[in-house]
A and B are shown apart, each in its own frame.
Chain A
Amino acid sequence: MAFVKKEITHARPAPLSERSVIGWMHKHLFSSFYNSILTIVTLYIIYITTKGLWVWGIADAVWIAESRRECFDISIDGACWAGVIAWMDNIFYGRYPKDELWRVNVGILLLIVWMLPLWLPRVKGKIFIAITLISFYPFLANYIFLGGESSFFSQFMVSAAIVSFVVIMLNAIIGVIQGQSISTFIATRLGSSLKSEKSQRNLNLALLIITFIIAFLWQQSWVLGEVPWTKWGGLFLTLVISGIGIATALPGGIILALGRRSKLPVIKVLSTTFIEVFRSVPLITVLFMATTMFPLFLPEGFVLNKLAQVIIAVCLFNAAYMAETVRGGLQTIPKGQYEGAHTIGLGYWGTMGLIVMPQALKNMIPNIVGNFISILKGTTLVSIIGLFDILGMLSSVSRDLSWIGLHKEPLLFGAMIFFILCALMSKYSRHLEAKLSTNRKT
């Protein structure tokens, strides 16, 4: 009576119709009669479009030419990328002097290197990195990009930026190698000579002051030639405006959102009015307002340049939008979190800063990054009021005598740059969201 099988029967593999390419195609492309027709028609449309784009943009395109006429001579229906290539420097840097372009590159490189330790898991003291970045880097960047004579305050801030940059770099190197912060590293190196915390702090302070003095003296030894803001342009100017917009939107938005949820009626009404006014009008009207009305607001003889007007307008406008995003995040936090924070004795700022805001901002990461993307896209509007940002440069190509009427190629190139920047941002936001998510995976 050996009808019972002793060993376990292994599961058979799924049928071929489920796992093969043909199975997949049957399921996803040809599941019904109409679906099959749809697939074939779509394939044909894709083929036509791709072929057209390929022939126009690559196969028949002209890459090397001196003028648009020459492009036409070589190929009549192809794209004339030569014009874009000839204007490449202008598209990226505007009319920044050719010999000084390294300054823009150095400034942007410094920013990237400064932010790099934020992504290294072993590095300690990331809050310090972020704070110095926000408080000192703008002065350093301003000095590098603008140059010229600088005031004592500006020199002071530039030196502070240099010192914090050096400290952060050392900290990052020690962090990667040893997994320690720089102050513990110094303390352990010096060993028993520093017993109390106080003497250790004094030593750190002394080291900082010495580096600061060295940096201050060193930065006085060189002077950068002045490049007035009117020469700034291209992608560089777009990044400057949107970078400042992004950096101020989040803090501004947090303050406004807290104001709107405040229990104090005056503060609540003021914040709500600010938010609603700026959210209900288009950015272009705010920009026009800035350029026509700021000169009237300011005292006689005090002239604010157009770039500053635009930056102020962009900051105000985007802070209002960010405030609504942050408020949305605050609304997702249940009441129990506030009560729990009160129970352990935290006051208003403690509750907000340590308990509520981190959760609210984390919940809103996709929306916050979405906001950043719209700030970047919205910055193109400054070309309407006469700044030569990337779009201003792209449209100038068609006004250049040798490339007259060349519209499509530069615009497509610009669209591509924006597409890449925006796609990178949203990709990073998805990564950040997954990394910070505290939901337990089931």
Chain B
Amino acid sequence: MFFSINEYQREIIVVANDSNTKSQRIKPKEKFNFFHDERVRGIFYQLLTVVIIGCFFWYLISNTAHNLELRGMNSGFGFLNVAAGFDPGFKLISYTPGIGTYGRIFLIGILNTLYVSFLAIIACTVLGFFIGILRLSNNWLISKVALTFIEIFRNTPLLIQLIFWYVGVFSILPQIKNSLDLSAGAEVVLLNNRGLYTAWPVPGEQFWITGVAFMAALICVYLLKKWANKHQDKTGKRVAVLLPSLAILLILPGLVFLLTGSPLSWDIPKIEGFNFVGGASLPPAFIALLVALVVYGAAHMAEIVRAGIQSINKGQNDAALAIGLRQNKALRLIIIPQAMPAIIPPMISLWLSTVKNSSLAVAIGYSDIVSLFMQTSLNQAGYAIEIVAMTMGFYMFVSLIISGLLNIYNKKVQLVER
């Protein structure tokens, strides 16, 4: 574009010169210089890049092929159907060593990673929100305590925290015989160095009726909320919804539960030999990983919430107080809804990094996808390229989904903003 403007200007100068001094003529320079044209250069640079990158990859691939041949290593995804000889430890789906395949190990790893990340994401979001609001409390002491928490956990590496939780806290818990009882003497939630053991509900035959009743209660609450909003729009009066909703949610399923004869029993953990039998259990590595991810994530979440709330003009809070809202209502009805667009994008990135951080499980032996697949399976079966590609592919898939969520949200917010 600039090229053409210059040409144009030069012609004007030439014309001007023509009219003034006829004897002198300035020859316009050639209009198109092949090597100085932007497009030609662009294509040249791109071709050059493609050739260099292509050569580089060809070099890598030929080396790899040669090395694989040299070491007699196989390739291909056939190994996924081969039985794996090791026990993955913690698992959500059944698995028998020696019969289950590497494909199933991959699945177990994915489920374990998603399980711990899902719980950690929910807990760290809630806890982080709470701490972020405490950080902005007008109580000086509370605010400083929250600040200390945030700074300590943000400025030390997650891996050190994780190992500290694992070897410093959850591994030095008492032996099974002297388990800590978290349920105050009822012996249904027990913590010891083998993990956390809880009683687990076993639904009876007619339990599904209670489930249906619960769904019905949910629908009732939804309708009630809708009616209350309509009522407020019409008359300007707010109807209390929270307490009646809770009552419906508790009483309706509760009554049905009792009428159908309490079809629910508890499977309580009991010591048998050297270990607990029955109930549900979580290994110490899982609890340590969960706690570490939650605490680390909450510290980051708190910073996100603080930054989001502080990005809202102070006048909004003053105005909310001026029209008679209490501080907590001003926060809930005025500040936080406006801060949400500034909070949600970094929050979703935090969720993604929580999923990625869960891969540190490999350091403490929780069987997530990296430790099961990228470490144990890779050491036992070989197939380095396939295993690395599959593991990375899984993380890329998760990140694709989470950034998809982010894009949907961003579009929605933009529409509202106009």
Give A residues with C-beta under 8 Å from B. Answer: 28-29, 31, 35, 38-39, 42-43, 46, 263-267, 270, 277, 279-282, 284-285, 288-289, 292-293, 295-300, 342, 373, 377-378, 380-381, 383-384, 391, 394-395, 398, 407-408, 411-412, 414-415, 418-419, 422-423, 426
Are B400 and A411 in touch, CB under 8 angstroms?
Answer: no
Chain A residues within an 8 Å CB radius of B374: 285, 288
Are B356 and A419 in touch, CB under 8 angstroms?
Answer: no
Are B155 and A373 in touch, CB under 8 angstroms?
Answer: yes
Chain A residues within an 8 Å CB radius of B32: none
Which residues of B (44-66) have their CB < 8 Å from a CB of A? 45-46, 49-50, 53, 60, 63-64, 66
Q: Is the interface of B mostly helix, strand, loop or mixed?
A: helix
Are A398 and B67 in touch, CB under 8 angstroms?
Answer: no
Chain B residues within an 8 Å CB radius of A415: 156-157, 160-161, 164
Give 10 nearest A-B pairs by CB, closest first: A280-B399, A28-B140, A422-B155, A282-B356, A377-B157, A266-B46, A282-B359, A407-B167, A408-B168, A415-B156
Are B385 and A296 in touch, CB under 8 angstroms?
Answer: yes
Are A391 and B388 in touch, CB under 8 angstroms?
Answer: no
- Spot the interface stretch: B77-85, B176-184, B284-292, B390-398: B390-398
> CA of A38 to CA of B141 in the docked complex: distance in angstroms?
9
Which residues of B (341-365) have their CB < 8 Å from a CB of A? 352, 356-357, 359-360, 362-363
Are A29 and B163 in touch, CB under 8 angstroms?
Answer: no
B239 interfacial contact with A, CB 8 Å: no
Knowing that A267-B45, A280-B396, A284-B359 touch, tell me 5 more A-B residue pairs with CB under 8 angstroms: A284-B360, A288-B378, A411-B164, A419-B152, A422-B156
Chain A residues within an 8 Å CB radius of B42: 263-264
Are B388 and A288 in touch, CB under 8 angstroms?
Answer: yes
> CA of A298 to CA of B62 in the docked complex: distance in angstroms?
10
A29-B141, A282-B357, A300-B67 known; A293 vs B156 contact (CB < 8 Å): no
Among the listed B70, B145, B356, B375, which residue makes an inter-chain contact with A281, where contact means beta carbons less than 8 Å apart? B356
Chain B residues within an 8 Å CB radius of A377: 156-158
Chain B residues within an 8 Å CB radius of A43: 141
Query: What total of chain B residues lie within 8 Å of the partner, measured CB to CB?
Result: 55
Are A297 and B63 in touch, CB under 8 angstroms?
Answer: yes
Task: Across the interface, name the chain B residue whose C-beta is closest to A289.
Answer: B388
Chain B residues within an 8 Å CB radius of A280: 352, 395-396, 398-400
Are A31 and B138 in touch, CB under 8 angstroms?
Answer: yes
B304 interfacial contact with A, CB 8 Å: no
> CA of A299 to CA of B59 in the docked complex: distance in angstroms?
9
Are A391 and B45 in touch, CB under 8 angstroms?
Answer: no
Are B164 and A298 in touch, CB under 8 angstroms?
Answer: no
A280-B399, A282-B359 known; A419 vs B156 contact (CB < 8 Å): yes
- The minimal Cβ–Cβ distance linking B33 to chain A, given in whole angstroms, is 15
- The minimal Cβ–Cβ distance linking A331 to chain B, given in whole angstroms, is 14
Residue picked from B145, B156, B374, most chain A C-beta under 10 Å: B156
Task: Across the interface, name the chain B residue whose C-beta is closest to A35.
Answer: B139
Among the listed A28, A282, A297, A419, which residue makes an inter-chain contact with B139, where contact means beta carbons less than 8 Å apart? A28
- The minimal Cβ–Cβ distance linking A31 to chain B, given in whole angstroms, is 7
Are A418 and B157 in touch, CB under 8 angstroms?
Answer: yes
Task: Across the interface, name the chain A residue whose C-beta is closest to B166.
Answer: A407
Are A285 and B395 in touch, CB under 8 angstroms?
Answer: yes
